[in-house]
Structure 1
């Protein structure tokens, strides 16, 4: 089990998760964030990305890398991390 409540309190985790969606999509299409200048272009890019199985797999792998804790076996948080109520300082 992953302690989602505590992870979403961490801005670093949130930024990792957002970037794990954005970077593979922009990279595959050879774009930068500056190329997305309208809502229409953003919507079109997302439709193209999620219509492409290869890009979807890239995003899934990227999210997997952002979510898993490399210090524990499997995808679970450690027993100590599961007990956290607040971010550890």
Structure 2
């Protein structure tokens, strides 16, 4: 994980959206809850606590986060040497 340019990834809105979905969606799907069902902090905290107590759900979230962070264009779980030099997410044509 040290060979991932986290600074650039966290500046990329697409990555943040993908990461948020990879954390939230497995939990919502497991409990068969829609976003509009989470109407209070109590519901949210209870759902989070129940998720943390469930090994299967934790594994599912971990796999989902792994898939969101893995770059399939490079070998292993690291960013390319070129990507490690970026200060900001690369735009098309650069």
- Following TM superposition, the consecutive aligned residue runs of length 4 or more in structure 1 with deviations greater than 4 angstroms are none
TM-score, reference length from structure 1: 0.98
1:28 is the counterpart of 2:30 = yes
**Between Structure 1 and Structure 2, which shows a larger proportion of helix residues?**
1
RMSD value over aligned CA atoms? Answer: 0.6
CA–CA distance in structure 1, aligned partners of residues 89 and 72 of structure 2: 18
TM-score, reference length from structure 2: 0.92
Structure 2: tracts of 5 or more residues without a match: none
- Name 2:42's counterpart in structure 1: 40
CA–CA distance in structure 2, aligned partners of residues 75 and 86 of structure 1: 20
Structure 1: tracts of 5 or more residues without a match: none
